[in-house]
Amino acid sequence: MAEGEFGESPRQLLLPEDHEFFKPPSAQFIVPFDVPIVEKKLTFEEASKCLNTLGKDESGIRYAYLMITATDKKLTDISIILNFKHVLFLDLSGNYLNLEALQVLAKMPFLLMLNANRNRVESGALDTMPYLQTLCLNINKIEETYDISQPMLETLELEFNQIFTAQFDNEKLPHLLELDLKGNHLIDLSGLYPESLERLFVAQNKITRLNDLALSKLTNLTTLHLRDNKIRKLNGFSEFLTKLSYLNLRNNNITKVRQFRKLACLPSLEILVYTGNPVDGKRQKGLEMQGEEPGENEVEDEEEIFGEDQPDKKPELDPIRLGVLVLLPNLKKINKDLVNFQEKEEVFLTKSKRLDKIMSEMSSDEETEPPTTTYTSETAGSESEAETDQDIFDPRTDEEENK
């Protein structure tokens, strides 16, 4: 859409981020797909009552209501909406709409945002809408994604559907910046993703491994959210992810600090979240001993991490955190805390001492194996069972770590 058709750029017309339109769907809401449907049309009178958000229309001169909010009305037919040609934003969440019922919206001349969360949409293959920039189809029945085609789409939300493999046509989504596949059935990150992506959210899937071929093509990616999966090893990252600055690995199955060495190929990585992994069990046990619930006061999502920085704290030095910093010295924030000067200084001193010792051992004829033990979620927290400093700082890798 050329700037000036609305009297101002499309981005200036978009709703603020805290608008009700963007309220995330409740994961606890269960769509009653097995409930018999009673046909119900949206009437002109009812639609008129759903109008809101006064603003300039497409001319940039006149004022009109730009949004219809018709939520939780058990609607099956919304064709009357075509009478409201000035509408830019549609919130139709919580109805009984399927793909066929939504196809009428392709005739809306200036639609920018569509929220059809919690409906009965079985496919995202909506007819092309020339100016659509945000499409929310969370909590529906979508299984396939390859037919989704919207030339101006920037944000696509497909949370809690029935998607087992991510397959997107790069040419059909040339401007997509943000993709949310939270709560589906992905077991890895293989598949096809739009190469324009900057933010990818795949939390609460069943991912056990990453795919270096798929990831290496996402050269514009800045944010990767992998929370609540089953990842144990961090193979798959590559130097082609030159812009990736934020990585959330919270609540996975990472047991060894040495796994984070595999992130050293990411030149722009500044924020890393790994709370809730077995490797973090030692600190979690410490919190319990202090009477604090594990996870209490933890950062819950990427919004808090990217929010305003709080004044620097002086937490007691955590050996796991220090080990991560040795391997990834460019990090600026780990979990909820900024990396402070005390940690940087300690890492520098410890790393220097350890490397000197290791180099000395490697140059000698003596071959001694460093003590290692398995670090599991059951044993996490035990000093005797945790990785030793030698394990954390040793630059040498074994074959098992790279499998």
| 54 SS3 class | strand
DSSP conformation class of 191: E
Q: Which of 2-11, 102-111, 365-374, 384-393 has the highest mean pLDDT?
A: 102-111
> For residues 127 and 131, what is the distance between their CA atoms, to the nearest angstrom?
12
Residues 274 and 379 in one domain: yes
Domain for residue 209, yes or no? no
Query: Which residues, 6 or more positions from 87, have their beta carbon under 8 angstroms from its beta carbon?
Result: 51, 65, 66, 67, 68, 81, 108, 110, 111
- pLDDT reported for residue 389: 43
Residues 129 and 14 in one domain: yes
Nearest to 115 by CA among 89, 140, 97, 133: 89
Compute the average pLDDT of residues 50-70. 92
Nearest to 68 by CA among 93, 100, 31, 101: 93
Compute the average pLDDT of residues 87-101. 97
130: tokens are: 């020339």
Domain that holds residue 96: 1-185
Decide which of 370 and 69 is more confident.
69
> Which region among 36-40, 202-206, 219-223, 274-278 has the lowest average model confidence (pLDDT)?
36-40
Compute the average pLDDT of residues 236-260. 97
- Residue 120 phi/psi, 5-degree rounding, is -125, 40
Up-side HSE of residue 267: CA atoms within 13 Å toward CB? 6
**Does residue 368 register a pLDDT over 90?**
no
Average pLDDT, the chain: 82
**Matching residue, tokens 């399927």:** 98
In 3-state terms the chain splits into helix, strand, coil percentages (rounded to 5) of 25, 15, 65
Residues 166 and 253 in one domain: no
pLDDT tier at 378, thresholds 50, 70, 90: very low
- pLDDT reported for residue 392: 54
| 312 SS3 class | coil
Query: Three-class SS string for 79-111?
Result: HHHHHCCCCCEEECCCCCCCHHHHHHHHHCCCC
**Does residue 117 register a pLDDT over 50?**
yes
- pLDDT reported for residue 358: 67
Decide which of 111 and 391 is more confident.
111
Residues 1 and 114 in one domain: yes
> For residues 369 and 391, what is the distance between their CA atoms, to the nearest angstrom?
10
Residues 179 and 282 in one domain: no
- pLDDT reported for residue 303: 42
Decide which of 30 and 260 is more confident.
260
304: tokens are: 């808090």
Type of residue at 309: D
Residues 250 and 134 in one domain: no
**What percentage of the chain exceeds 90 in pLDDT?**
63
Decide which of 285 and 36 is more confident.
36
Number of domain units in the chain: 2
Provide the residue count of the chain: 403
pLDDT tier at 9, thresholds 50, 70, 90: very low
Domain for residue 192, yes or no? no
Question: Which CA distances in Å does 239 have to 148, 244, 267, 269, 396?
Answer: 30, 10, 7, 11, 20
**51-56 and 63-69: which strand pairing?**
antiparallel
The CATH number assigned to the domain holding 17 equals: 3.80.10.10
pLDDT tier at 352, thresholds 50, 70, 90: confident
- pLDDT reported for residue 400: 52
Residues 135 and 255 in one domain: no
- pLDDT reported for residue 377: 34
pLDDT tier at 104, thresholds 50, 70, 90: very high
